[in-house]
């Protein structure tokens, strides 16, 4: 299983790294929305921990890891402090943040799917919960910021699709008894690379066939916040 891929300390470090970059995206959105430091901390915490918290509550892994490991709670606060003082610099390094965000997406969709299956969910349900683990925090972030979730917007580069691909690969490997450290890493890598390609080539999901809407992307919406 996924836990066999890394030692516990390395896996924990990767979790914290993913939490950190997700928290940065939440804090940056708070800056763009002109929130105060408390609002920044709230969005950072929700973005970083929301998906995993939802997963743990659904599968009955209580108390959730977010409430048993102090590092999970403190890391978003560290990201908030960083963005509070250095947000112009962080904005300029958005490309690097996106790379780490994509890595977190790949790791979390695989970890979420695997953990859900280990707690007794079926294959389809495990894949759905893996997707929720990866993207749930971003949805909560956008809702709290009074924005249409980036996950649902046509003018955002693919985000859910890479997570779906990663989660689907995991359940296929489980179904054919092929899940091992190598295939787990392969699923995470697939989600990671697909997200990076979507960012590079501006890949987006298709809209309704023969739609009549004249909605266009506004100039201030061209920069993805996911």
pLDDT digits (tens, 9 = 90+) for 207-220: 778 776 555 555 54
pLDDT on residue 138: 87
Residue 57 resides in a domain = yes
Residue 82 has pLDDT above 80, yes or no: yes
pLDDT on residue 29: 87
Residue 16 has pLDDT above 70, yes or no: yes
pLDDT band at 8 (very low <50, low <70, confident <90, very high): low
Residue 209 resides in a domain = no
Residue 100 resides in a domain = yes
Q: Total structural domains in the chain?
A: 1
* Average pLDDT of span 160-173: 95
Residue 220 resides in a domain = no
* Residue 203: φ, ψ to 5°: -70, 135
From the number of C-beta atoms within 10 Å of its C-beta (0-12, 13-18, 19+), residue 224 rates as: middle
Does residue 148 come out as left (phi exceeding 0), alpha (psi in the -120 to 50 range) or beta? beta
Residue 197 resides in a domain = yes
Residue 226 resides in a domain = no
Residue 6 has pLDDT above 60, yes or no: no
pLDDT on residue 81: 95
- Is pLDDT larger for residue 93 or for residue 63? 63
Residue 200 has pLDDT above 70, yes or no: yes
Residue 48 resides in a domain = yes
Domain that holds residue 21: 2-204
Q: Give the whole-angstrom CA distance, residue 185 versus residue 34.
A: 39
* Average pLDDT of span 92-107: 80
Residue 210 resides in a domain = no
Reported for 156-160, long-range contacts at CB under 8 A and 24+ positions apart, including other chains, are 156/204, 156/224, 156/226, 157/198, 157/199, 157/202, 157/203, 157/204, 157/224, 157/226, 158/194, 158/195, 158/198, 158/203, 158/204, 158/205, 159/105, 159/135, 159/195, 159/198, 159/226, 160/131, 160/135
């Amino acid at each position: 299983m996924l836990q066999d891929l890394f030692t516990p300390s390395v896996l924990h470090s990767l979790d914290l790294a993913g939490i950190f970059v997700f928290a940065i995206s939440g804090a940056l959105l708070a800056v763009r929305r002109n929130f105060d430091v408390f609002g920044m901390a709230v969005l950072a915490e929700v973005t970083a921990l929301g998906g995993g918290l939802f997963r743990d509550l659904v599968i009955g892994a209580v108390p959730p890891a977010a409430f048993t490991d102090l590092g999970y709670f403190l890391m978003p606060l560290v990201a908030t402090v960083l963005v509070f003082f250095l947000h112009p610099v962080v904005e300029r390094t958005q490309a690097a943040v996106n790379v780490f965000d994509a890595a977190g997406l790949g790791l979390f969709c695989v970890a979420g799917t695997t953990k859900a299956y280990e707690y007794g969910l079926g294959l389809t349900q495990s894949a759905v919960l893996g997707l929720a683990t990866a993207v749930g925090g971003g949805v909560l972030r956008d809702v709290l910021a009074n924005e249409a979730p980036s996950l649902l917007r046509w003018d955002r580069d693919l985000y859910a699709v890479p997570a779906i691909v990663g989660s689907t690969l995991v359940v296929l490997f489980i179904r054919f008894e092929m899940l091992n450290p190598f295939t787990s890493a392969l699923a995470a890598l697939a989600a990671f690379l697909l997200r990076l390609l979507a960012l590079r080539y501006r890949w987006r999901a298709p809209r309704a066939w023969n739609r009549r809407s004249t909605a266009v992307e506004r100039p201030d919406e061209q920069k993805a916040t996911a």
